[in-house]
């Protein structure tokens, strides 16, 4: 059996503005992952997918326009490999439509499994590009940040600069961070808030360009705070970013309730992470303060709470 995986991701700051060519910072969560398990099938059975979390089972040939089937086809074409007699089971610890990159992680794990079956290891950039194309079928106009941070599995600064390729650089983290992730339990497909923001931007570009510029300034400040290990400054930046996200129109009462509870419990800062209108929020905990924040989020109605530690960088891999 072949088993491959890919991590969840969190956008630390810069979501939505990143779609409009401003930078964002994203982090992988190595302990929250999606998995692909590939086992040989009967001769002539072809390629099949099983997704127990969704109660789904389908064949590669059954629905050519299924985004995962299209992704598999792209991977096999790149590998110059025939359609194998293979059963791929897809599982995930990442909530669907929760702002943590579940679709991109499943896609990356799938591509890695097909490559491993073919005896190949694909370049990370190629995995990222394939998953980005697949994400476009789900989300319409994805920023490209999910597939990038998930494929490379490191904290990144991501900046779209069309027509040039995106600027992707590692981010220095001077001191470890503890993030408490609260899930609202409300699922919101990424394309819905992204599409709504696009409509507002088209209707009032001056206002929204100003909001995106303000977010961009905060992302630059966050990079400096991360590099210096200044958690207090970073917390204030997260709070400021949340206020701008609320003005952009992607927060929600459920998110605001959890964010308020985290701040009241001692979080240095808190904000939504991802597309918004539901999904997850993140709270930056002070040293030894994560348990109190986690308890407060559960009491405030979080459907699930995770504690993630982001290590400091002893060195940065370019």
Assign 3-class secondary structure to the chain.
CEEEEEEEEEEEECCCHHHHCCCEEEEEEEEEEEEEEEEECCCCCCEEEEEHHHCEEEECCCCCCCHHHHHHHHHHHHHCCCCCCEEEEEEECCCCCCCCCHHHHHHHHHHHHHHHHCCCCCCHHHHHHHHHHHHHHHHCCCCCHHHHHHHHCCCEEEEEECCEEEEEEECCCCCCEEEEEEECCCCCCCHHHHHHHHHHHHHCHHHHHHHHHHHHHHHHHHHHHHHHCCHHHHHHHHHHHHHHHHHHCCCCHHHHHHHHHHHHCCCCEEEEECCCCCCEEEEECCCCCHHHHHHHHHHCCCCEEEEEEECCCCCCCC
Look at residues 295, 247, 270 and name the one whose alpha carbon lies nearest to residue 16.
247
Closest to 72 in 3D by CA, of 108, 124, 123 = 108
Query: Residue holding tokens 């991802």?
Result: 274
**Burial class, 115, CB count within 10 angstroms (exposed 0-12 / middle 13-18 / buried 19+):** buried
Name the catalytic one among 93, 146, 240, 254. 146
Q: Is 146 noted as a catalytic residue in this protein? A: yes
Please, which residues have CB within 8 angstroms of residue 235's CB and are 6 or more apart in sequence? 267, 268, 269, 284
Q: Looking at the annotation, which residues are catalytic?
A: 146
């Amino acid at each position: 059996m072949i088993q491959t995986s890919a991590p969840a991701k969190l956008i630390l700051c810069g979501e939505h503005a990143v779609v409009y060519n401003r930078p964002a910072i994203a982090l992988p969560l190595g302990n929250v992952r999606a998995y692909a398990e590939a086992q040989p099938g009967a001769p002539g059975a072809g390629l099949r997918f099983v997704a127990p979390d969704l109660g789904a089972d389908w064949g590669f040939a059954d629905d050519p326009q299924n985004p995962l089937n299209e992704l598999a086809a792209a991977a096999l074409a790149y590998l110059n490999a025939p359609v194998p007699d293979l059963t791929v089971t897809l599982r995930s610890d990442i909530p669907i439509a929760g702002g943590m990159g579940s679709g991109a992680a499943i896609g990356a794990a799938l591509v890695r499994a097909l490559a491993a079956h073919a005896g190949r290891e694909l370049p990370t950039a190629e995995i990222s590009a394939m998953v980005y194309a697949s994400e476009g079928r789900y989300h319409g106009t994805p920023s490209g940040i999910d597939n990038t941070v998930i494929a490379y599995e490191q904290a990144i600064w991501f900046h779209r600069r069309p027509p040039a390729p995106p600027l992707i650089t590692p981010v220095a983290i001077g001191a470890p961070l503890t993030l408490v992730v609260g899930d609202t339990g409300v699922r919101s497909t990424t394309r819905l808030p992204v599409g709504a923001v696009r409509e507002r931007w088209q209707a009032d570009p001056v206002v929204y360009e100003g909001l995106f510029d303000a977010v961009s300034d905060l992302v630059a400040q966050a990079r400096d705070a991360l590099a210096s290990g200044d958690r207090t400054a970073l917390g204030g930046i997260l709070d400021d970013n949340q206020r701008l996200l609320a003005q952009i129109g992607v927060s929600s009462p459920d998110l605001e309730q959890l964010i308020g509870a985290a701040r009241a419990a001692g979080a240095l800062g808190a904000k939504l992470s991802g597309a918004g209108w539901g999904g997850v929020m993140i709270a930056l905990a002070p040293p030894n303060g994560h348990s109190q924040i986690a308890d407060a989020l559960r009491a405030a109605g979080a459907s699930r709470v995770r504690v993630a530690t982001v290590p400091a960088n002893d060195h940065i891999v370019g």
